[in-house]
Amino acid sequence: MSAVSKLGVTRDPARVTRAAWLIGLGLVLLALPHLIYPVLALDILAWGLFAVAFDLLFGFSGLLSFGHAAFWGTSAYLTAYLLGHGQSVPVAIAGGTLSALALAVPVAYLSVRSSGIYFSMITLAFAQMVSFLALQWTDLTGGENGLQGFARPSFLGLDFSDAQVRYYVCLALFTLGFGVAYRAVRSPFGQAQQAVRDSEQRAQSVGYNPARFKFTAFLLSAGLAGLAGAMYTFGHGVVSLEVVNWRTSGEVVMMTLLGGTTTLFGPVIGAGIVLLLRDVLTTANLPVGIVTGVVFVLVVLFFRRGVVGTLQHWRRRR
Amino acid sequence: MFNGLVNGAFYALLSLGLAVIFGMLRIVNFMHGALYMLGAFAAFALGQLLGLGFWPSLILAPLLVGLLGVVLERGLLSRLYGLEPSYNLLLTFGLTLLTQDLVKQVMLSRFAVSSAPYSPPEVLSGVVNLGFVVFPKYRLFVIALSLVVCLVTWFVIEKTRVGAIIRASTENPVVTRAFGINVSLWVTGVFAVGAALAGLAGVLAAPIYSVEPYMGAELIITTFAVVVIGGMGSILGSVVTGFAVGVLAAVGAAVYPPIANTLVFILMALVLLVRPSGLFGLPEGAR
C-alpha cells in the first residue's frame, strides 16, 4: 500500500536536480548585478550564452568549432552598426542575431561535411576570413579603431544608459536563448543529435540523416552565439577587432570545458569563473595570458569533466 | 612576386612541420606558431646573452626548440593519446597563450624591449642582381634553404627506411612494437623534428620580420589554411601549397592590396567545395 502511495508522488530524481539547478542559477543571475559591478555581470550573461551555444555543437553534436568568434563577432558588429545608424535596440539586436544566422548557412554547409579535427580547422579558417573582413571593411567595422559612441535609444520607457537596466534586458534575452537551447537538447531533435554524435552509422541505419542534423545544430548554435554577441555590444557600447579574433574562439572553448560540456549549466558557470578570475587578475595587475594559459592546460589534462560534470559524476557515484 | 616566394618559404616550412606532426601523430599542434616565435626569440636571446651570431643560432635555436618539443610530447601530449584529437588542439592552444605572454614578460623585464630587430649575417647583406630582378641576398638564401629542408624531409619520410618505420609506428603501433621497434621513442622524435622545423623557420624569419612575442599568432592560422588546402597530413601537399599560396598572395596584393591576407581563405573555401580532403589529401575514409 505504501508502494502505491509512493508511486503517486514518484519523481524523476534527474528532473528534480535539473529544477534545482535552474532555480539556483536563476536566483544567482537575478542577484548578480548587485553583487559585482553590472557590466561584468552582463559580460557573464553574454559569454555564458555564447558558451551554451558553443556547447550545443561541441557537447551535443561532437563538433569542435574553433571559429565561433565569427558568429559572435559578426552579430556584435552588425548590432553596433544598426545602433549607429539610428535603429532601435530591438531591431539592432534582432538584426545582429539574424546576420550571424545568415553567415552560418554557407559556413555550416561547407563545414559539416567534415568531422573531427578537419571540422575544427575549417571553422577556424572561416572565422579568419571574417576577421580579415572586419579589419578591411572599415566603413562597417571601423577597422583597428572599432566602433563606439553609438546611441542606445530608450525603448518602452527603458533607459539603456543605466547598466542595471541593460543587465535585466540581457537577462531576459539570456533566458530566451537558454530556453531555446534547453528545449532543443531535451526534444526529440536533441536526442537524435546525440545519437548522431555517439554513432553516425547507427543513427543513419535507423533512418536519420546525420548531415542534416549537424547542419541544423550548427545553425541553432550560430544563431544563439549571434544573440550573445548582440547582447555583448548592447552591454558595452563598444566593439573592437577582439570580437573576431581567434583567441575569442578559444576562450569560449575554455569556458565550456571548465564548466563542463554537455551540461548546459556548466558553460554558464565556466564563463562566470573565467570572467571573474580575469577581473581579479587585471585588478591585481597579474599577467592574464599566463594564468589563463595555465588554467587551460590544467583543465584539458586533469579536469576534462569540468565543474558541473565533476559534481554530476560524484552524485552519480554515491 | 619574388617576395611572395619568401613568404611562401615560411608557409612551406611551417606547414611542413605541421603536416609531419599531424600526418604521423594525429596531433593538431596549435602551438606551432608559438614554436616559430620561440625559434626567433631563442636566436635573439642567444645573441644578447652569449653574443652568438646568426650562424650558430641557426643551428642552436632549432635544437633548443626541438628539445622543448621532446619535453612537451613526453610531459604533456602523451597523456592525451587515446582521447579525441580535439584535446591535443585545446592543450596546445592553452600552451600558446602561456608561451606568448611568458615571452612578452621576459622580453620586457630582461631585455626591456617589446619587439627587437635582428640583423642578417654580413655575408648575406646587400643585394644580388638576378638579371631580371634585384633581390636582397638574405631573402634568396631563405628561399633556397627552405627548399632544401623541405626536399630532404620529404625524401626521408617518403623514400627511406626511417620514413617507413615512422609510418609503421603510427599506423599500427602494436605490430611495430612486436618487431622490436621502440614506438614511443620514434613518436617523440617526430614531434621534436616538427618542432625544430618551426624553430628553424623562426630563426630565418627574425631578420625579415624582427622578433616579437605574437609574431606566430596570425601566421599559424594562414599555415592551417595551407595545410587544409594541401590535404592534412600530406607532406608534398603542404610544401607545394605553401609556396603557391605565398606567390598567389603576392600577386593578389599587386592587383588589389587588401585581399592579400584573405585570399588564402577564399582559396580554401573553393578547394573544399570541390575536394573536401584537400588537393593532395586522400578522402577521410581511405586512410
pTM, whole model, 2 decimals?
0.85
Residue A195 grid cell = 545519437
The predicted complex's ipTM stands at 0.82
Weakest mean pLDDT among A61-65, A165-169, B261-265: B261-265
Contact B262 A287 (CB under 8 A): no
Task: Report pLDDT digits (tens) over B159-212.
Answer: 888 888 887 877 777 888 888 888 888 889 999 999 999 999 999 999 888 888
CA distance linking residue B207 with residue B116, whole number of Å: 10
Please provide residue B132's backbone torsions phi and psi, each rounded to the nearest 5 degrees: -100, -20
d(CA B60, CA B55): 9
Q: Which residue of A has its CA nearest to B222?
A: A125
Block residue for cell numbers 610531459: B75
| CB within 8 Å: B76 and A247 | no
pLDDT at position A226, please?
95
Residue A317 has pLDDT above 50, yes or no: yes
Q: Say whether B266 and A294 touch across the interface (CB within 8 A).
A: no
Q: What is the pLDDT of residues A65-123, one digit of tens each?
A: 988 999 999 999 999 999 888 888 889 899 999 999 999 999 998 888 877 777 888 88
Under an 8 A CB cutoff, do B232 and A133 touch?
Answer: no
Contact residues on chain A for B224, CB-CB shorter than 8 A:
121, 124-125
- Contact assignment for B94 to A113 by CB distance below 8 Å: no
Cα–Cα distances in angstroms (integers) from residue A219 to residues A170, A202, A207, B22, B58, in the given order: 21, 23, 22, 29, 48
Q: How far is A16 from chain B (nearest CA, A)?
A: 33
- Best mutation target among B74, B90, B105, B234 (most A Cβ atoms within 10 Å) is B90
CB contact under 8 A, A297 and B262: no
Task: Say whether pLDDT at A131 is over 50.
Answer: yes
Whether the per-residue pLDDT at A11 is higher than 70: the answer is no
pLDDT bucket at B64, cuts 50 / 70 / 90: very high
Distance, C-alpha B113 to centroid of its chain: 25
Region class of A237: left (phi > 0), else alpha (psi between -120 and 50), else beta? left
CA distance A77 to chain B (A): 19
C-alpha–C-alpha distance, residues B287 and B278, integer Å = 14
Q: What is the pLDDT of residues A188-212, one digit of tens each?
A: 878 877 887 887 778 777 777 778 8
Lowest mean pLDDT among A286-300, B142-156, B207-221, B263-277: B263-277
What one-letter code names the amino acid at A129? M
Helix (H) or strand (E) holding A239: strand A238-239
SS (H, E, C) B147-192: HHHHHHHHHHHHHCHHHHHHHHHHHCHHHHHHCCCCHHHHHHHHHH
Decide if A192 contacts A213 (C-beta within 8 A).
yes
- The pLDDT-based confidence of A235 (bands split at 50, 70, 90) is confident
